[in-house]
Structure 1
């Protein structure tokens, strides 16, 4: 099974008779329901097997393969991708990260039987600050008694199994929380109450709700890992989910860009097609550049789970923060191409308004962008002192997207802060090589930015490394993520061969450099040439019914003229 297999199974999105085509997906969205036909299709394909490690009967060995499959699903419907797919993956990763063989076997059996697992972590009173959760478990007899509520949990009412984070100690430290594997059919029904479903403006079909426990007895062997390890397990598991989410959510930007190209080619304005307007060409080119940057950065980070797990505490949070922001900005820019048509809920371009609405919650699903920056802040001074400008570059294999990988070793992921930064080591190495006039200009600019960032991060006060930090400290973390993305793009292009054309690189780097708010590195003529190349490449891929990313994978119904 592969992403291409799933793409074929989903069929032509423009075929109104397709039960998982855009017409059917939009109808389900209007009813605020998940696509029932989509869920049937994924049941038959057993998408859940992609979340289960091969050792337990599933198909999960490589995070990049899983990301590609989920990206295919998100191109069709982010609500289906998040509700059917990512929600169960988010919960089950905690089990693969630290649990007994019996627990892993039980969750694997349930997932392979097309059941759902939900991650009951968040509470509205505490938001993303799960360290102050109010839901608590206390020893009772030979087991535990669970009390409290969880809010805004995907699939909580439909899930047969829950992974619940609860307080098991009085202090605020990491050792005061535990995770519990709670099977619905193993606890008294009168001790569990489902709370009303929560409506959303984006991903309207996503089943969000809450659950409340009242002195609910759970057995001693329900604890995942050891008591008190709940936060440590979550931090390790988050590295996987934060890395995979950006790579899969890129599918929504692909659909938005494809729809904008359709509109630009078909709509006439001022005596010409919209695609002939210079402004429209520039917007489409820049969105394509952002898609390629996100593809490179997220691809490197997903490979990092296998190759540099010791650095994932920084890389996964950085990727989740920057790529979600870039994708959301690009979709909003593309809305200006469609104008009023970008808001219509009916008609040939109606899928765009759904993609745009779904893109917003995708930026904070699982954990918010601010929480990602808070994760990065305390790591910056250490990396600045110990690694930046002096540490070795990451191994070339990290940047060879699609190349072989060892199976993901969940035990290699650590909750400790990253100590090395091979991505920025690669940036420095590329700047020193000076390959290509334009590429060297950008590489040296990014290296100079790193020097400034290093000095500013070393000077951070202790109070700037917490959630109470000022805006200047958060800005440093933001700039760090841009430099990681720039390093990824430069290194991926250097390794990628013909899949990564040289004429597309300046436009991609120009977009990243603009996020650092320094002087422009391209002249007006160079930028025009760079954007023309990006626009032409996007149009060519769309016309040939291929993905916009360098894989150029064929897509059924990639254009509306496909039968």
Structure 2
């Protein structure tokens, strides 16, 4: 699981060391100039990070989505601008080619990426946001074997410095689900004068990332640039979203890791009312709860990442649910940590100065290419079918879904589906009560029973929803069912990861963290406040403090960090 991560962390060095040219001081200086962190990019070049986005079958190092997430978490842990601007933007674009491109296109993109080039995802139009079916950018056939590009895209990462672009385009004047196509276009092949760059919008977060735009005017390209058959854009996007909606928020958990570390530093250096801030129960509770939120988010993200390999016909709904939970939890945890830091939150230099940048950068990293409400809208219409076909103890998930060290088959891009056929992750929640060990404790047993009951209640509520309310334009309150479902999946992931990895020595097998995780999640379905009791806060804070002192990551992997 940690292969290559330790080498990358060593290359980047101790971020808190003022003498480290790849540390926080240098990163903050680049942010003040609204520039990408050039020395960091060179270090990632030396590490050949682009190879992580290329499948092993094409000469790269992409073997598992869960592994890629952990590699990129190291980059986000250091600088979210590097994470998005150098890495994740290429990942978002390239998976469309792996999922739907021809052999020639996949080979050419692998060649570009392994050579150090970048590819940009050219999707968004400000007028339409996440509604890709209404994209106006046109690539209409001219009858002579070309597509003629016309229109503009305003929010493109690395538009100026990419070598190739994946462009979401309208290829039929009429509407309907087959009216759009994705194109793999190399800028060097474009005729002169037909493309211009749109200036960057100023932004509060991700100030160093190049977020400009492009505009094309009657620009011909050969029809061979189409990724898949004409009209296949939505299908390919819905398949590739299963990797990106899972991957990007999970990568960005590195931001919360560093935010927790900064909050511990800031709190440890402060004295109030004659004692250290970290000795106060409220401080310990906030830190422990943020730690639990990171762990439960990592549980769900890791299980969903593994489902892409093991259950490609189920991962569509899981990916959208994971993005909703993980990005929301991370942003809320960072907000509470900012309240804990108080006036220190506004400091832009020194040992805690990185925190304000992390907060600003996390929102766009968590938002990515699809808003959280758009993820719920993807899940909602699938719920009636999943409730009918699954959600029972007899619909079991493969053990490898939860065992973190079990090997995975290659990513099955061709097997990914545009909607989920079944849901064994929810079924695993229905079955877990019977498998709780004797030392689980009464509190955990009650929580497991409560979430099993929530699944039953959710099934009944889904059966009552009018078909009209499952679609865009229906009752917005119906989206609450998708949010409840996402929370149930998170609870199932936490319980089953704990059960499947109890043979691991130390904290992973301790029932207290999973009890705390379910208490935090229970608040999202109207059960309690989510506040942790003292008997859970103290051991969790002790684990957090021990990891901080030993320079271990705060996620499930507990990797060694420099410093």
If the length of structure 2 is used for normalisation, what is the TM-score?
0.96
Distance apart, 1:122 and its partner CA: 0.8
User: What is the root-mean-square deviation in Å for CA atoms of aligned residues?
Assistant: 1.4
CA contact (8 A) 2:69 2:251 kept: yes
Q: Distance in 2 between matches of 1:426 and 1:409?
A: 23
Cα distance in 1 between the residues matched to 2:467 and 2:346: 46
User: Per-residue displacement from partner, 1:498-551 (whole Å, max 9, x unpaired)?
Assistant: 333222222111101111112479xx9x82101111111101110111111232
Superposed CA offset, 1:44-66 (max 9, x none): 11111111111222111111111
2:224 — aligned with what? 221
Q: Deviations over 1:87-130 (max 9, x none)?
A: 01110111111111111111111111111100101100100101
Deviation string for 1:354-392 (max 9, x for gaps)? Answer: 111111112211211011011011001111122123651
Among 339, 347, 367, the alignment partner of 1:344 is 347
2:178 to 166, 175, 179: 175
Q: Does 1:248 align with 2:254?
A: no
Change (3 A) 1:391 1:187: farther
Relative to structure 2, which stretch is displaced further, 429-438 or 100-109?
A: 429-438
Aligned match for 2:552, one of 546, 556, 559: 546
Could you list the runs of 5+ residues in structure 2 that have no partner in the other structure? none
- 8 Å Cα contact 2:154/2:214 also seen in 1: yes
Among 307, 310, 315, the residue aligned to 1:307:
310
Between the aligned partners of 1:14 and 1:246, the Cα distance in structure 2 is 24
Deviations 1:325-349 (A, max 9, x none): 0000001011122101012112220
Question: Is 1:273 aligned to 2:293, yes or no?
Answer: no
Q: 1:230 to 1:434 in 2, by over 3 A?
A: same
Asked if structure 2 preserves the Cα contact closer than 8 Å seen for 1:393 and 1:424, the reply is no
Listed as ranges, the matches of 1:348-427 within 5 Å are: 348-389=351-392, 392-415=395-418, 417-427=419-429
Structure 1, residues 456-494: CA drift from partner, whole Å, max 9, x if none?
A: 111111221122232321111111100000000000000
More moved, 492-501 vs 273-282: 492-501
Structure 2 CA distance for aligned equivalents of residues 530 and 475 of structure 1 = 29
1:68 matched to 2:70? yes
Matched position secondary structure for 1:515: helix
Aligned equivalents of 2:547, 2:436: Cα separation in 1: 31
Match of 1:513 among 518, 522, 525: 522
1:389 and 1:451 in contact (8 A); partners too: no
Q: Secondary structure at the match of 2:178?
A: helix
Query: Which residue is equivalent to 2:451?
Result: 446
Partner SS for 1:252: helix
Aligned to 1:151: 154
| 8 Å contact kept, 2:392–2:431 | no
Deviation by residue 1:125-180 (Cα, 9 ceiling, x = unmatched): 10010110000111122211111111111111111100111111233322111111
**Match of 1:561?**
none
2: CA distance between counterparts of 1:530 and 1:72?
28
Match of 1:193 in 2: 196
For 2:446 and 2:98, locate their aligned partners in 1 and report how far apart those are by CA, in whole Å: 44
Once structures 1 and 2 are overlaid, which stretch shifts more, 527-536 or 81-90?
527-536
Question: Quick one: distance in 1 between partners of 2:360 and 2:557?
Answer: 27
8 Å CA contact 2:299, 2:556 repeated in 1: no
Instruction: Report the more deviating stretch, 55-64 or 26-35.
Output: 55-64
CA distance in 2, matches of 1:396, 1:439: 21
- Relative to the length of structure 1, the TM-score reads 0.96
Q: Secondary structure at the match of 1:26?
A: helix
Deviating above 3 A after TM superposition, structure 1's stretches of 4 or more consecutive aligned residues are 432-435
Contact 2:171 2:180 in 1 (8 A): yes
- Of residues 68-77 and 541-550 in structure 1, the stretch that sits farther from structure 2 once superposed is 541-550
Helix, strand or coil: the match of 2:367?
Answer: coil
Q: Distance in 2 between matches of 1:167 and 1:402?
A: 43
Matched, 1:556 2:554: no
The worse-fitting range, judged by mean Cα deviation, of 321-330 and 164-173 is 164-173
Question: More displaced, 469-478 or 271-280?
Answer: 469-478
SS at match of 1:179: strand
Gaps of 5+ in 1: 558-563
Q: Which SS does the other structure have where 1:174 is aligned? A: coil
- Conserved 8 A contact 1:290-1:327: yes
| Contact preservation (8 Å) 1:161, 1:184 | yes
Correspondence for 1:502: 511
SS of equivalent residue, structure 2 residue 252: helix
Change (3 A) 1:550 1:231: closer
How many residue pairs match? The answer is: 553
Contact 1:500 1:550 in 2 (8 A): no
Instruction: Determine the structure 1 residue equivalent to 2:533.
Output: 527
Match runs of 1:16-27 below 5 Å: 16-27=18-29
Structure 1 pair 103/445, CA: closer, same or farther in 2 (3 Å)? same
